[in-house]
Amino acid sequence: MSNPGIIFDESLLADVNFQENDINTIVDECDRCTKIGFLPEVEASYLGLLIHVMDLTSLNSTDNKKTIEALVDKALTYAKKNLKSDIEDMGSKHTCPIYNYLSTSTLIPPTICVSSIRVPDAVQRIKHQGVHIDIASVAAGFPLGQVPLSCRITEVEYAISHGAAEIDIVIDRGMVLNGDYKILYNDIRAIKCVCANGKVTLKTILSVTELGSYQTIYKAAMTAMMAGSDFIKTSTGKEATNATLSHGVVMCQAIKKFHEKTGFQVGIKPAGGIKFNEQALSWLVLVKNELGNDWLRASHFRIGASSLLEDVVKRLSVVLKKFR
């Protein structure tokens, strides 16, 4: 269900306090689970889930029609092609309890994420392939977010009109650092209205490593959710430093508080620098531990990445061979 947002409530930004030790304890538990490892059937299920929550992304200055076509093809065929023999062999022996899950699933990421100008290229390629996959478009002055609101809205409208089913906007970090949360709320709310009219999912990128403190991250996250963001996202992938699990803890705490206050279930999307299955599994464990199993689905958990798919598929192939 889409998050309709609520009237701006400054009280939700008050009395925010995070203890570094408490955050580190949560992060250490996530890392411990990943480092110790999982039972093969659990790891296979988790790796399969990672494919099903992945926004396969290309946001390069060199992107063109050919690179986007290759991205679509990769999303639609890479996992199936590279895991076909492993899954068939596992199924022939009927020894693995997750066989039905892996064999009946398409092993296709739910979404590809591209720049607004590349949305038509993605739409055309998807139609040519005849298989459905959603298109997410970064917009609203990505990656800086420092353009007039009217221009941000125009870009969002462009992406939606050309076929984007999801919009990943980026906030103006200077606005947050200046404490202008009500202005930020109004800006996101204006974009939410455009997305709501088109029944489009709205993800809001916080660029957490540029916000200075856990308290500021929490306030920005809460403001974005009050304005109607369906997801809060860590990063653009263009920051000097990528988001960490510690930032994720703060975002999860904000999501949990917003859910308690409103009943609306907002999603989380880590992105930027997530290249290896171990990193992604740690984020999955964090979401599971902090928010619960209800968040472990593409409607509430995504991972934005450009090269993670290869590593997840490689590791999943290794795990599946254990069932032979």
CA-closest candidate to residue 131, choices 114, 113, 110: 110
Residue 269 annotated to the active site: yes
CB 236 within 8 A of CB 249: no
* Cα(56)–Cα(307) distance, integer angstroms: 8
Phi then psi for 133, rounded to 5 degrees?
-155, 140
Concerning whether 314 is annotated as a catalytic residue, the answer is: no
Catalytic: 261? Answer: no
301, 271 Cβ separation under 8 angstroms? no
C-alpha distance from residue 291 to each of 48, 195, 267, 288, 295 (Å): 20, 26, 10, 6, 6
Spatial distance between the Cα atoms of 200 and 224, rounded to a whole number of angstroms: 16
Catalytic entry in 74, 192, 219, 269 = 269
How far apart are the C-alpha atoms of 245 and 243, rounded to whole Å?
Answer: 7
109 token code pair: 């990421």
Point out the catalytic residue in the list 55, 168, 230, 311: 168
Give residue for tokens 């979404």. Answer: 111
Q: Side-chain half-sphere of 244: how many Cα atoms within 13 Å?
A: 13
Which one of 74, 192, 233, 288 is the catalytic residue?
233
Residues involved in catalysis: 168, 233, 269
